[in-house]
Amino acid sequence: MNKVTIQELIDLANENLNELQLRDGYIHFYHHRAFQPISNFYREKSELFYCSELMDELRSHYQELFYFGSISRKTLCWRLRGLGIINEVYKTGGFAWKVFSIKKESLLSSYYKKILTEFLSSLGDIRRIGIYRSITERYFLFLTTHGHSTIGIVSPVVIRSFIVDISTSRPKTMDDVVTVLRKIHMYLREEGLLDIRFEPILFVPRARDKKVLPCFSPEELNLILKQVNTETPAGKRDNAIIQLGISTGLRAGDITNLKLTDVDWINNEIYLIQGKTKQPLSLPLEERTGNAIIDYILNGRPKSESSYIFLRSLAPYHKFQDGVAISCVFRKYLKSAGISHTVGDGKTFHGLRRTLGTEMVVQGIPITTVSQVLGHHSPEAAKQYISLDTNGLKQCALSFGTIGEVRV
């Protein structure tokens, strides 16, 4: 395509959405949350025709609005979807369905993208490359939104400001943040891009915070399960997911990637390769949980050729993108149950895993067995979830026989 109006592209994008047989309400969301802001922006600029420079300007505008709190992350995600779809429609005349997200849609300028790519390449084949990418992107975004369009004008004060800023949202991963900042600034020094004395800030020993994170009580778990309407397809799916979390302690990401072939119905067991450790794991499938999964597969799961058990409830019927989607589903029921949640209080889907581990220790199950059930490399790894303080554990003690039995 050459010269085409922005409205023509929006109309073409809507046609593509209709061809995917999405629900009318979902298409309505796309039009008003993703495309309408683009149309409004072009109108303000008195521009009728698509312009890549204007699209880049709008992306930067969205970026600033989100960073300074003027729009939510959800709103930003919708608007980035709109930009991605319109750009693809302009270039190809249509678009292939995909999940647009902040992870995939980088907010960085081409200048910082280049540095990021070269920095990650310099690290070689390391296991936690995703952590390095995430934190470095966050750092470069911070620099951009605070007026540092190039790396050469960054000072130690700016590094300190970033650490303070990110600590409010990632208090548990500050060791990772500092490690990545060390690596990136050593790389910048070696490449002659920036040579400042960052050592006094990034090599200061940090005291580690150690505390016992709370877990769920039996009453809270039953209250959460009561919020699930198991008469609907989505409710059957969500009930099976939550029951899995309660009875097996599986991570959200592993439940996301669970396949139909991972369940041995004859022996009532689940076999999988863990996403985090890449190690095989075999777990017994408790009867109530197995029945919930069967109910979903037979009576709630959309007709699909997908090999994954749990699918989206709206077309196209793909599996969840990642464990974050399951965490969002769980958070919906947590809110519906009236259970308050703040950062660090343990009231998350991962809290189900901690609750299971805590209950097993209280019941006298050896820590080595607990580690095996939770899929850890060693018993030491289980201690980040479970305190061996008997008095503290008794406060979290559960009777799993009562979980999920009382329904409304």
Strand partners, 282: 271
Q: Strands 280-284, 269-273: parallel, antiparallel or unpaired by DSSP?
A: antiparallel
Structure tokens of 365? 């199950």
Backbone angles phi, psi at 319, to 5 degrees: -70, 165
Q: Could you give the residue numbers annotated as active site?
A: 251, 276, 350, 353, 376, 385
Backbone angles phi, psi at 325, to 5 degrees: -65, -40
| Burial class of residue 243, CB neighbours in 10 A (0-12, 13-18, 19+) | buried
